[in-house]
Amino acid sequence: MPGRKSLIETFPSVDRALARVQERVRLLVRAERRVGRVLAPYAAAVIQEGVRLHLAGREDPRGWKRLLEKHGIRVKADAISPLQAVAKLVFAESPRGSIGRYAAAMAWAYERVRRGFIQVDEIAAHVVREGGVVAVAQAWVEQRGGEKRVRIDKAIYEAVLDNLPTAGFLSVSDPDVELAREVLAIIRTDRNRRSRVIVLDQDPGRVRKTVVRYARRKKLARTA
């Protein structure tokens, strides 16, 4: 029809299309970081009041037991945090990932209060200074597990990934290569600007552990 553009005229080249979507990703990442900085003090305040609730429960064990029974809260003996029950109470309607992340962050803060390093009213400021809820939760998981036995909580892993920069998307064209959902790989670009994906590891536990350690070291390097 006259005046109607063809598909070739309507759509940009693949290189231009990729550049446009990558620019949108960069804008999205910057926006998420700005939002994160705004929300950080509020999230840290939740950690502070969660620790205060835990201490109140220790002062009144019978009342604490009744409260847990009233809300049907049960905690496994091998829970990631001694404040798992507090997190379950506070985030009763939230996904399990939020509970695990905040429980670990509360444990990190409570440990410092217990050892006399900080006061309860100083928790929020210290959490923000140390990089936020995700950072201190991650630190607690590593501290609790040790170098050999550390188990990276899925929620913490996902939060770490959200904070890492995204360069774009790749498609693996080899039909004989089967990739897991989580893959640790190196991407090398040759002279023809082709990206070669070299798979290093597909074990979910090891992939999470490596990514979280990398993010932790990158944060420490920035603050050093």
* pLDDT tens digits along 41-56: 888 999 999 999 999 9
Percent of the chain whose predicted confidence (pLDDT) is above 70? 69
Mean pLDDT confidence for 16-28: 76
pTM of the model: 0.56
> What confidence tens digit (pLDDT) does each residue in 59-96 have?
999 998 998 898 888 877 667 788 988 988 888 766 66
Residue 190 predicted with pLDDT over 90? no
pLDDT at 223: 46
Rounded to whole angstroms, the Cα distance separating 184 from 44 reads 32
Choice between 222 and 26, residue whose per-residue pLDDT is larger: 26
Other residues' Cβ atoms within 10 Å of the Cβ of residue 212: 22
Partners of residue 201 on adjacent β-strands = 184
| Amino acid (1-letter code) at residue 4 | R
Query: What is the CB neighbour count within 10 angstroms for residue 112?
Result: 19
Q: With contact defined as beta carbons under 8 Å apart, do 151 and 173 qualify? A: no
The model's confidence at residue 188, banded by pLDDT at 50, 70 and 90, is confident
Alpha carbon 72 to its chain's center: 27
Residue 47: is it exposed, middle or buried by C-beta count within 10 angstroms (0-12/13-18/19+)?
buried
In the beta sheet, which residues pair with residue 128?
Answer: none
Name residues whose C-beta falls within 8 Å of residue 142's C-beta, 6 or more positions apart in sequence: 150, 212, 213, 216
What's the confidence (pLDDT) of residue 147?
Answer: 40
Q: Which residue has the higher pLDDT, 158 or 140?
A: 140
Domain locations in the chain as residue ranges: 11-160
C-alpha separations of 102 from 52, 190, 203 in Å: 14, 43, 26
Strand partners, 185: 199
Q: How does residue 221 score in pLDDT terms, banded at 50, 70 and 90?
A: very low
**What pLDDT is stored for residue 78 in this prediction?**
65
Task: Look over the chain and give the mean of its residue pLDDT values, rounded to a whole number.
Answer: 76
Do residues 79 and 100 touch, judged by C-beta distance below 8 A? Answer: no
Q: Percent of the chain, pLDDT > 90? A: 16
- Specify the range with the lowest mean pLDDT, choosing from 55-59, 90-94, 138-142, 143-147: 143-147
Q: What is the SS3 assignment for 186?
A: strand
Q: Which structure tokens are listed for 7? A: 């598909």
Identify the band that residue 26 occupies on the pLDDT scale cut at 50, 70 and 90.
confident
Specify which of 79-88, 106-115, 147-156 reaches the highest per-range mean pLDDT.
Answer: 106-115
pLDDT at 148 over 50: no
